[in-house]
Structures are given as structure tokens and as C-alpha cells.
Structure 1
Amino acid sequence: MSHYTGSVPDTKRAEDWRDFAACAGAYDEMFPSSNPHEIENAKNYCRPCPVSSQCLQWALSTNQEFGVWGGLSEAQRHHRRGGPSKTISTDEYAGTTTSRVPVVARSLPQVWEDCIEEDGEHLLWVGPRSVSHIAGSLTPNRLSFYLDRGRWPEGDTKRTCEMPRCVKPSHLADRVERGEEADLAVAV
């Protein structure tokens, strides 16, 4: 006969697609108001995410009413639910070519670590020209910028050093950091 000890059983969930999501830790951003800018900001997390298809499928199969899941807003998912439930991919929903080769889900930091090489004070990108995921592709500069600053760059991300292929975060700047946002406002 076993005796109750009063201890709480281990309730940690098994690792799954959620552990590889680009939006991990950005809970509030993924449940925006109806403001189109906030919805687009939430979708920006989904574009380079390696698990967006799994996220979208889960949201559709569990009838998630709120938030952005797999790159789709509440209204887009509501529209999609009109037909019978079936497994879909992001390509299938968007009507794009399904020519992308499926990849094993890896976190964005894992992809970055696998594709950089130290060279003195620089970090060189030795991986492909873009990081392809189920949700699309991401340039090495954008990936490095995002992982360092925790936000997606505004506009293009340029190197501030002369070393080709350098993706060291401190050697990158987006439009805001380069001060081009103020220049654009003056030009208008």
C-alpha cells in the first residue's frame, strides 16, 4: 500500500513545437488588439518561425479564438474554419507553391550557432544566403539582429564594418539605429 507523501508530481510538459517558436516569451504581443499595426507586429514573429505550420494546425484543430497563430489573425482563422477540419500547411492556406523542403524544427538560436564562424573581432556567416523555414526565409543579418535585440529590425539591416559576411550583432544596424527614420521624416 502506498502512502501519500504530499509532494507535487512532476508536471512539466514534454518538449514539443512550442519550444521552438520564434514568439516564445512574447505572449502579450501575440494577442494584439484589433489595431492592424499590432496584428502585423505579431505576424512578424511568425514569418521566420520554424514551427509556424505546426502552430497554425494546432490553433485550427483546437479552435483558438484569440491571438495570432501560425501567421494568421483571428479573422483569418475564423474564415478558414468554414470548411471541414483537415491538416493544412501554411503554403496550402496561402496558395503558394509547396516547393520548400521540410526542415527539422530547430530554434533560431540553434540555426545561428550552426551557421557562424569566428574571425578575430568578427562573426562570419558560413551558412546559406537565407535561412529557409516553413514560414519563409530570413536573412542572416535579420536573424542576428533579432536574436541580439529581441525585436525585428526596422527596414533593412546593414553592416557597420567592412568585413563581408560579418553578422556580429554589434556590427549591424537597422534603419532606426542608422538614424534614417529621422531623415525620411524630414524628406517628406
Structure 2
Amino acid sequence: MSNSTDWRTSAACRARGVHPDAMFPERDKERIDYARTICAGCPVSMACLRDAINSGDTQWGIRGGLTPEERRAVKKEINRRLKAAEETQAAGKKADPALQRKSCTSLGELFEGNTKRLVHGHLTWTGPARLTFQGQVYSPRKVAFIVDRGRPPSGRVMTTCGLSGCVQPAHIADDEERTACGTRGGYQRHYRQGTEVCGPCRQANTDADNRLRRTGTSKQVAA
């Protein structure tokens, strides 16, 4: 198998034996939410999304946690940026800093120049899967975390909103933020470790699922 398709063997929908129909929910909101939960935490969600965008798979199913409409919006934005870069180069003008990543002077600029807002407050990453800044390699979620928290993450940075690939700072958390019991992160930790789920974690996960159905995000909004 070539390296370009290796990621598929690690996809959560395949590893968990999910029926293929579950990832093609059409316009049923509950089924879409369920498909997004399958994508949440998938180790190859970004690879899946990139493959969908690059191959033009923007008509059916949930890929990388995004619906076809959301994938088309991402593809449109990527094409807009490419066209703008070509036009400025042809005109002999200085390109938009967002298109010249080397000219960025901070991670904040990189973050602003490589994200696009989606529905329900989600943000998707439109730049490379890995980028280098001042000699350090960063993932999109790590950039989002550092820009928002002002500190390096502890362990892995993962989405908490159910939309795989989302880099909205309010929708991500590192290991330190996720591991406390009584949170959805705590529930996911029990699941990953194969330990019995405690009552507070089970309730927190149920509450997060209910918020996701009502508002499109599992993140609790502060009063």
C-alpha cells in the first residue's frame, strides 16, 4: 500500500467497525451529529479532510468531521487564496502576509492567516498540516492552543466540540485540561484506557452530547 493511502487503515470509522451508511447521513441533523462524534478524536482526521479537499470529494458524507457544504467552503477559500497569490505575483506586487507565511512575525499572525470561520463558531485550518516557525514544528491545534493560552500544551491537543479538525481555541484542550473527572475529556480518557467510566464523567459526556445537538458545539458557554 502506498504512503498516500496508509492513513485509511487508522481511520476511526474503519477501526471501530462503523457501518459505512453512518458516515453518509444526508441532511438528518442527529445522524450528522453522530457521524461527527465518530470523527472526533480520530487520529487521521486531518489526513481524511485533506484527501477530501484535494480529491474534490465535496458532495457526500462526513469527511474529517465536515459536511459537504463545509468542505466546499474550505475548498473555495483555498482557491481564493491561491488565485490571489497568483494575481499578486503576476502583478509584481507584494503578496498578502497571510499568503506569505515566512513573513509572519508571530504564531498569532500564522493562526489568523490560516483559519476560516465555519458555522456555529467552529474554525477550520486552511494551511499545511505541519508548519515550521522560528525553527519549531507545529500542528494547527498546537498553534491555536499556544496563541490562546499563552503556554505550550501538556501532551496532545484534541478537539472537544465533536467537529474533527476544528481549531477554535474554545473547542480544544490539552491532556492537562481534559483529564479531570467530571468532564467529557475525563470520559474519553476512561474510554481510551479501557477503565470503568465514573458517574461524573458519564454525566458530563451526556450533557456535552445534549449541548452538541442543541447548539452545534459540546462546549459549555459560561454564564
**Shorter-chain TM band:** 0.3 to 0.5
Larger gyration radius, structure 1 or structure 2: 1
Higher helix fraction (1 or 2): 2
TM-score by length of structure 2 reads 0.41
